[in-house]
Chains A and B, each alone.
Chain A
Amino acid sequence: MSQSKMSNTSSKWRWGRRWRSCRLRLSSNNNLPSLPEELLEEILVRLPVKSLLRFRCVQKSWSTLVQNPTFIAKHLRHHQTKTKNPSILVEGLDKIEDLQYLLQSHPDEGGGVRVLDFKGDSMGRLLTVYTKMFACINGIICIAGILRGHYGFILWNPAIRKGKIIPYTQSPNCPPDALSGLYFAFGFDQNSNDYKVVRVVEHKKKSAENSITRYCNAFYVYSLRAECWTQIFGTPIHHNNIKLHSCCNEIYFNGVHHWIGFLNSEPGDSYDHHIILSFDMSHEVFQIIRFPDMFFPNKTLAVFNDCLACIVYGINEYIDIWVMREYGVEDSWTKQLVVGHLLGIQRPLQLLGNEEILLVDENQTLVLYNIGSQEIKILQRTGYPKIFMPRRAIVYVESLVSFTGGIVFES
């Protein structure tokens, strides 16, 4: 009787004559040779991407099922809602200006690390400098960079190891020396089932009279379906003097991207109001949301209890978590909780669910802190590049989403 090797699970599964005869004996009157598709789907939806890609080989109907957009959406939803200990995608610097990406699984799920090495594979040959923006929607990572001398974005699914390049040309409208900032966003329009990339080109204008610096922002949106860029005009944003100040503190929430910035509303206004500039991916509209003044000095946007939240820190060893109870209503900012007393922490990176907070300590080590139990878990350093300074982190849930057309690459 053949015996399989012991798998990692605690049960010993035996495959061979014994169970087959057992099965015939105990078999119910269900005479179907295989499970009906709806039942099969319920099982397959629970499998990780690697297994599903392999099982496409089982039979043609399985391959069709796994590639079906409805199944892909169902699979993603299942893993987004059922995952208790999500993996974390971490962006960090390994040397000055050299970005590295790691996929860190949760300590309770093994805590293993996978380095997403762009340089060593086909994408590395394309992407010579990756500059900014790191967002992850539905298992797709979006990175802005310079490819073959051109500006572009990469949309990459590390679970299926395939991606797509979206080139763009910098706007000729503003003289290069006035270019003072470039900001990006990546999102998903649920209404049109479309992925979008947003590019904000900022340039400075100094006003001679009162030497207040005015900022002009041009907004461009790329639609993956339409495969083209559109410039957005005439929004209220254009009438305001806004300077985005996003550096690893923005967040994508509920189909809306949120940047942090300053608003200088009146000339002679010495006061820079801190604001959130949000962009709704579906309706393609902007909104300004103000912060209370007490959010000082440092802020990182987050999600807490399905609400937009803000992690405020920098004064002492405590971290305040504020929640905007009613989205868009500035008065509804409420101090939800205070996390602390944390020693040796440099700064918070992200909230994981409502229970854990990911932090960077003074030694540039990632630390996971459980708010309720106050337990600290140091994320393993094995597998990390020798020098790695974490800049930001996003919860990562793998998916089967893929793109066709255009410049597609494999990694």
Chain B
Amino acid sequence: MSNTSENPKPSSSSAKMTLKTSDNELFEVEEAVAMKFCTVKQYFEDEKDSDVAARGSTTVIPLPNVHSAVLATLISYGKKLPQSNAVADNHEEEETKKKERKKYEQGLLKNLMPGELLDLISAANYLDFKEGLEFFNQALADHIQNKSVEYVRKFFGIKNDYEPHEEEKYREEYAWAFEGVDED
């Protein structure tokens, strides 16, 4: 799923940046979207002095901790967010955009494997992508909310460190909390 940078169109209205993932894929991203990744923004601002910005998208920002598939999803999500430089919409347009975004979000979650959520959260955290982190954290919380203890252990790769009698005692004390849980 590579998106190698071609010759940037000289007439493009917004600057683009190139991000390079851990598996050496290159992503050309609009500046407005890339700036939502605060880590990228910081890198970019640090480079500003060296006149790089003036030359356009010849800088390649390395993201050694992010895989291409994960970055693709985060960029896709970032594009759907209200842009900070956009002209303020009237109430109706705002409502329509909100509904579109909700639909997109539901579609996105439908196609995601639960395990990918962990990767997305790690990557969003590394990139300091606040809206993405908020969204995927909530998605993961919603996913595990009604799951069993065994499911959660497997999901996070956690080893049970309770003695059997300890766990049994706890389950008895809070038996009601273990009712109505999704079957694995």
Contacts and interface: CB of A to CB of B under 8 A. Distances in A.
A57 B149 contact: yes
Nearest to A19: B113
B182 A4 contact: yes
B158 A23 contact: no
Contacts of B171: 57
Interface stretch (A25-33, A91-99, A206-214, A333-341): A25-33
B138 interface: yes
Contacts of B141: 43-44, 46-47
A54 B156 CA distance: 16
Contact of A7 (B106, B113, B146): B146
Interface in B51-76: 64-67, 69-70
B146 A30 contact: no
> Which residue among B70, B122, B161 has the maximum number of chain A CB atoms within 10 Å of its CB?
B122
> What is the interface residue range for chain B against chain A?
35 or more
Nearest to B167: A57
B65 A26 contact: no
Given A27-B119, A42-B133, A54-B181, A15 B149 contact: no
Contact of B121 (A5, A13, A39): A39
Contact of A51 (B67, B118, B146, B184): B146
What is the interface of chain B mostly: helix, strand, loop, or mixed?
helix
A258 to B, nearest CB: 35
Contacts of B146: 7-8, 51
A10 interface: yes
B176 A161 contact: yes
Interface string B126-164: 000000010001101111111001011110111111100
A35 B183 contact: no
Nearest to B110: A11
B110 A15 contact: no
A58 B166 CA distance: 12
B160 A39 contact: no
Given A28-B123, A42-B133, A58 B115 contact: no
Interface residues of A, number: 42
Given A26-B70, A47-B145, A57-B170, A42 B137 contact: yes
B156 A22 contact: no
A193 interface: no
What 4 A-B pairs have minimum CB-CB distances, sorted nearest first? A23-B115, A46-B141, A28-B67, A53-B177
Interface of B: 22, 64-67, 69-70, 106, 109-110, 112-116, 118-119, 121-123, 125, 133, 137-138, 140-146, 149, 151-154, 156-162, 167, 170-171, 174, 176-178, 181-184
6 contacts: A8-B146, A19-B114, A19-B115, A44-B141, A48-B145, A54-B149
Interface of A: 4-5, 7-15, 19-20, 22-23, 26-30, 32-35, 39, 42-44, 46-48, 50-51, 53-60, 161
